[in-house]
Amino acid sequence: MAKKILGIDLGGTSIKFAIVSQTGELLEKWSIATNILEEGSHIIPDMIQSIQDHLALYQLGQEDFIGIGMGSPGAVDAKEGTVIGAYNLNWSKKQEVKKAFESAFSIPFFIENDANVAALGEQWMGAGNGRANVVMFTLGTGVGGGIVVDHKLIRGFGGCAGEVGHLSVVEDPAFQCTCGKKGCLETVASATGLVNLARHYAQSYAGDSQIKVQIDDGEMVSAKEIFEAAKAGDRFAEIVVNHFCHYLGLACSHVAHILNPQIIVIGGGVSAAGDYLLTKVKEHFEVNCFKQVKESTQIALATLGNDAGLFGAAQLVRLESQLEE
Ligand SMILES: [Zn+2]
């Protein structure tokens, strides 16, 4: 029987686990709630216990696995196997994740930040469909990214490669980013960013718009409501979405001119806006692209949804174990 891979997607509300075959079949999947109490000190023991319980349940032994892969929030040192500054887990101090797993199991353990892991998932079993050169933009509360070149995850010298959310693309309006800079992609092309743009442009828009009325009344508006209004023909919402797509398309063109990947995958919660979003991003991408780049780099929506992290954790093990196609 071919050996399997255990993938873990560690998040602030739940921890997801999957047993995946080397060819990408999802064999088993389960999850537990994340207990972030007491500085997140329960998280690692809870994960180890849950794996032990499920291996017993499925009558699998450690020898049935080639590796355990994990995607984690925060600053991950892939080599040392540590995580620091994962505030949604209450992990402000350095966590020795790899050491804990290697003392509990005699299975090789690999860890990466969750944005890189999502990119690996889409590269392998999602929109990337196993292509060697794939870049992913994950649009959520912020904007994350991951780069795969020739079947290798690009980490960079300081581990910061693929931080596409902090590409400076906006001169005016230059919103403050959580990183301390102004004008970062994530200040305009995330769920938060779309709302930033709506608030900004509401100040100078004079026509009728339900979204503008909500903003003027001090009500909360969500990215989803803005996209829905734009699709329904709300002119103000269309203007806001066009600015969003301009910045995202521009950032994609910058990445494409440097890396010329086969595909740029747009994922994360905001990508639920679907083909409406994709068509507009493509327009802005193409306007900003050199001819040969435009003709060879495609843009597509992510296809794995919430499973990208699990498949990516498994792909991390495959790549690190040199099991390339
Ligand atoms: Zn930033």
CA 301 to chain centroid: 12
- Ligand 1 mean position to 1 CA, how many Å? 47
- Ligand 1 mean position to 25 CA, how many Å? 37
- Ligand 1 mean position to 26 CA, how many Å? 35
The alpha helices in 94-139, defined as continuous H runs, are: 97-104, 114-125
Distant-in-sequence, close-in-space partners of 104: CB < 8 Å, separation ≥ 6 = 48, 52
Residue 134, SS3 per DSSP: strand
pLDDT tens by residue, the chain, 325 residues: 789 999 999 999 999 999 999 999 999 999 999 999 999 999 999 999 999 999 999 999 999 999 999 999 999 999 999 999 998 999 999 999 999 999 999 999 999 999 999 999 999 999 999 999 999 999 999 999 999 999 999 999 988 899 999 999 999 888 999 999 999 999 999 999 999 999 999 999 999 999 999 999 999 999 999 999 999 999 999 999 999 999 999 999 999 999 999 999 999 999 999 999 999 999 999 999 999 999 999 999 999 999 999 999 999 999 998 754 4
Reported as type and span, the H/E element at residue 67 is: strand 65-72
* Whole-angstrom distance, CA of residue 202 vs CA of residue 240: 9
- Ligand 1 mean position to 91 CA, how many Å? 21
Distances, alpha carbon 52 to alpha carbons 33, 45, 66, 69, 295, in Å: 16, 11, 16, 15, 49
- Ligand 1 mean position to 174 CA, how many Å? 11
- Ligand 1 mean position to 163 CA, how many Å? 9
Residues 313 and 8: beta-carbon distance below 8 Å: yes
Phi (first) and psi of residue 304, to 5 degrees: -90, -15
Residues that place a CB less than 5 A from ion ligand 1: 166, 177, 179, 181, 184
- Ligand 1 mean position to 143 CA, how many Å? 9
- Ligand 1 mean position to 187 CA, how many Å? 7
Residues 281 and 289: beta-carbon distance below 8 Å: no
Please confirm whether the linkage preceding 108 is cis (ω < 30° from 0).
no
